[in-house]
Structure 1
């Protein structure tokens, strides 16, 4: 009898430990192998809300993983996208800049990689009509692009993302709600870029919101970014916590739970 009880207890402990953990998922864009991460919510609901996480310019990192885990604890399915794919992961900032630059200049390719990751999120169990996209830095650009590309998402959140858009692209109505969390002292996004983005939001009749965080530069949500604002990219604990809470309020509004 004791052995049976111990076996049952062991099964319960194993189940609790394995539930809600990041799981590697391999998928493809043509012949290009992509390696994303999937995680299920701790508490599932009939609405099955899902969130796609787009990493910063160096690809899937600790920050993106930790964010997906936090989202699962809040009741969301989450998928961390692999934009670059096997054989293309940057070894340093120079390679990261080159890779990210390629997708910014070839925006249709970025849209496709985001769409493929959305498919994986849906396959993991998320409701295809109850999804949001969030992203950091380069991924923040991708989140806004998901709205610009009219992907089937309810809302997008950009954390210290690039805001620029090629002026030759058409101005079309944007239906996804947009939250841009921006460092007030970010040196990598010019005042002109911010102004153009805000005008775009007005021209597209978007439901948008932009929040500035004091004493914050680029990468303010990433603990691995250091704490030296003079470098242009640095972690700011207060801004990170505040922006996460702002994201939670936004998601509660745009997604059914």
Structure 2
């Protein structure tokens, strides 16, 4: 995967990457580090729902930015969160594994940086005069990012609806699932070797004991990273365009139900 190497300052100044989208930088401070997120903003005459996005374990890559643009084109303002810090941009899966592993192994740290990024998005709505509708905040996450938005939800994040695409399901904090405030949609590959049936069962059994509005969809024949065009490892992690299209359609249905059609 190719890391975003261009300057976000340059992006912010030239801005128009597509006819109807602009990409802006949003920097925030957390625990002594600077983080640089990206906000994809459609041209619009009306306020739109805000979508907080945590990318996969590679972080702030061109591929993840393309995904943020795709979602923004559906009628959302998308904040792609930098959760590693500006000086940590994984160049390969080994580096990504270490970066993601440091947060997976420290759930309080994961929750804290997620909360800081979400606060930055909310602050940026005013600071940058973003066209985000009041009290309309969704979240999406992919692989590691899917697990992270679930973790943020278990910490009580103010998110109205979230969608985890092929994300981690098991966490030492599953007991906090009753604290989830918004609707939850988990989209999982039925043959994902990284999310075995035991993990799915454990997640479901915990969620059944809560009052959360949740759904879990398993896509037959799909493995890990089915929405990622760069995933090319058969049987483990591979892009499936048909399943990807279906997954984003499910996302759209949930957000339409929650925020109204855009």
Query: Shorter-chain-normalised TM-score: which range?
Result: 0.7 to 0.9
- In the alignment, which residue of structure 1 is the partner of 2:39? 38
SS of residue in 2 equivalent to 1:253: helix
1:229 aligns with 2:234: yes
- Aligned CA distance change for structure 1 residues 217 and 171 (closer, same or farther; 3 Å): closer
- Aligned CA distance change for structure 1 residues 251 and 94 (closer, same or farther; 3 Å): same
In 2, Cα distance between equivalents of 1:80 and 1:171: 24
1:74 aligns with 2:74: yes
User: Residues 56-88 of structure 1, C-alpha deviation per residue, up to 9 Å, x if partnerless?
Assistant: 011122332122212222221111000101222
1:246 aligns with 2:247: no
In 2, Cα distance between equivalents of 1:68 and 1:58: 14
RMSD: 2.2
SS of residue in 1 equivalent to 2:42: coil
Deviates more, 1:83-92 or 1:149-158: 83-92
Aligned match for 1:194, one of 180, 200, 218 = 200
- In the alignment, which residue of structure 2 is the partner of 1:208? 214
Larger relative strand fraction:
2
- Conservation of the 8 A alpha-carbon contact between 1:222 and 1:234: yes
- Conservation of the 8 A alpha-carbon contact between 2:146 and 2:168: yes
Aligned length: 241
- In the alignment, which residue of structure 2 is the partner of 1:7? none
- Conservation of the 8 A alpha-carbon contact between 1:136 and 1:161: yes
- How far off is 1:173 after superposition? 4.2
1:106 aligns with 2:137: no
In 1, Cα distance between equivalents of 2:174 and 2:213: 23
- How far off is 1:191 after superposition? 1.4
The 5 Å alignment of 1:81-96 reads 81-96=81-96
- How far off is 1:240 after superposition? 0.6
Task: Structure 1: state its 5+ residue gaps.
Answer: 1-13
In 2, Cα distance between equivalents of 1:240 and 1:36: 25
- How far off is 1:153 after superposition? 0.7
SS of residue in 1 equivalent to 2:22: coil
User: How does the TM-score come out when normalised to structure 2?
Assistant: 0.84
SS of residue in 1 equivalent to 2:53: strand
Larger Rg: 1 or 2?
1
In 1, Cα distance between equivalents of 2:234 and 2:223: 6
- Aligned CA distance change for structure 1 residues 18 and 170 (closer, same or farther; 3 Å): closer
In 1, Cα distance between equivalents of 2:118 and 2:134: 9
- Conservation of the 8 A alpha-carbon contact between 1:57 and 1:100: yes
In 2, Cα distance between equivalents of 1:168 and 1:17: 41
The 5 Å alignment of 1:10-25 reads 20-25=21-26
Deviates more, 1:127-136 or 1:246-255: 127-136
